[in-house]
Amino acid sequence: MSNEALFNNAVMDDLNIMTVNSVIAAKNLKKTFVQGKFSVPVLKGISFNVSAGQSHAIIGSSGAGKSTLMHLLGGLDTVSEGEVKVMGQSIAGLSEKKLGQLRNKHLGFIYQFHHLLPEFSALENIAMPLLIGGLNKKKAHALATDWLSQVGLDHRGDHKPGELSGGERQRVALARALVGSPDCLLADEPTGNLDSTTAKQMLDLMLDLNQGLNTALVVVTHDMNIANKMQNQWRMNDGLLQRVNE
C-alpha cells in the first residue's frame, strides 16, 4: 500500500472512531497465555467498539475468555496482538502513569473478584479513584458518601471489606467504579453475588446512568435478565464474539 493510502486509511480510521463518539475501540485482539511449554489461545481476533451511551452484554461459558477480554478493554492486561483505543487514544506504549490517568478519567471497572483495598473502609475505597484523580478529601468523601447511599450502604461506610458480606463488597465495588462518572463502565459479573432484589437495584442504577448520563455499559453476565436489558448482546465462543441479537 502506498504511503498516501496508508495515511488515508489512518485518517478514515480516526474519523470513523471520532464520528461515532467512540469510548473504546478494539481491533483484532488476540490473547494467548503461555504456561510452560503450552500456549493457550484464548482470544483469537476480536474487534469490538463501544460508543458513548451504548450498552453491551457479553455472555459465554466459563473459561471462554470474557474476563480476559474485559481486562484488555480496560488496559489491565496487555494484548498479544491487536490494538485498544480509549477515547481515540491507543493505549499500547502509554506509560503506567498515563494509562492510569486515562483509566481514572474515562473508565470504571468492576472486577469479577472485586479487589477492594482490604485496609481501607468502604467509604475510603469508594473515594479512592477521586483522590487519585486529584480531588480534595472533603469533596471526595462527600461524593463517596452519596454513592454509599445510592448502593444502599449508608450504615456500612466505616466497615472494611473483610467486615462486609460478598454482596455488600460488590455494591462498594459498583460505587467505586461509578463515583468518577466514567464514560464507560466495564462490569464483570457485577451482580453475581447479589440476591435478586439487590441485583435488580444495581441493574437499575446502571441503566439510569446509561440513560441519564450516557454512560456506556459493557456487562459480562450469566443472567439473561440482565443481558436482555442491554442494547447489544454478544456471546464469547471459541475465542470470538458472536452477535446474539439483531
Ligand X SMILES: Nc1ncnc2c1ncn2[C@@H]1O[C@H](COP(=O)(O)OP(=O)(O)OP(=O)(O)O)[C@@H](O)[C@H]1O
Binding residues vs Mg ion (CB under 5 A): 67, 112
Binding to ligand X by residue 95, rule CB under 6 A? no
Q: Which does 88 bind (CB under 5 to 8 A by kind): ligand X, Mg ion, none?
A: none
Nearer to Mg ion, 130 or 202 (CB): 202
Segment near ligand X (CB under 6 A); pick from 11-19, 55-63, 81-89, 202-210: 55-63
> Are the C-beta atoms of 84 and 26 separated by less than 8 Å?
yes
Near ligand X in 99-118, by CB under 6 A = 112
Binding to ligand X by residue 37, rule CB under 6 A? no
- Shortest distance (Å) from residue 77 CB to ligand X: 8
Segment near ligand X (CB under 6 A); pick from 60-68, 126-134, 169-177, 194-202: 60-68
- Shortest distance (Å) from residue 34 CB to ligand X: 8
Residue nearest to Mg ion (CB): 67
Long-range contact pairs involving 156-164 (C-beta distance under 8 Å, separation at least 24): 156/122, 157/121, 157/122, 157/123, 158/121, 158/122, 158/123, 159/121, 159/122, 160/118, 160/119, 160/120, 160/121, 160/122, 161/114, 161/116, 161/117, 161/118, 161/122, 161/125, 162/118, 164/122
The full DSSP string for 148-208 is HHHTT-GGGTT--GGGS-HHHHHHHHHHHHHTT--SEEEEESTTTTS-HHHHHHHHHHHHH
* φ, ψ at 38 (rounded to 5°): -100, 140
Q: Which of 42, 12, 45, 39 is nearest to 26 (CA)?
A: 45
Q: Which does 64 bind (CB under 5 to 8 A by kind): Mg ion, ligand X, none?
A: ligand X
- Shortest distance (Å) from residue 125 CB to Mg ion: 21
Q: Which does 33 bind (CB under 5 to 8 A by kind): Mg ion, ligand X, none?
A: ligand X
x/- contact string, 12-31, with ligand X (CB under 6 A)?
A: --------------------
Binding to ligand X by residue 63, rule CB under 6 A? yes
Nearer to ligand X, 21 or 112 (CB): 112
Q: Is 109 left (phi over 0), alpha (psi -120 to 50) or beta?
A: beta
Binding to ligand X by residue 6, rule CB under 6 A? no
x/- contact string, 128-157, with ligand X (CB under 6 A)?
A: ------------------------------
* E strand or H helix that includes residue 85: strand 81-86
> Are the C-beta atoms of 83 and 28 separated by less than 8 Å?
yes
- Shortest distance (Å) from residue 33 CB to ligand X: 3
* φ, ψ at 32 (rounded to 5°): -125, 125
Residues that bind ligand X (CB under 6 A): 33, 35, 40, 42, 60, 62-68, 112
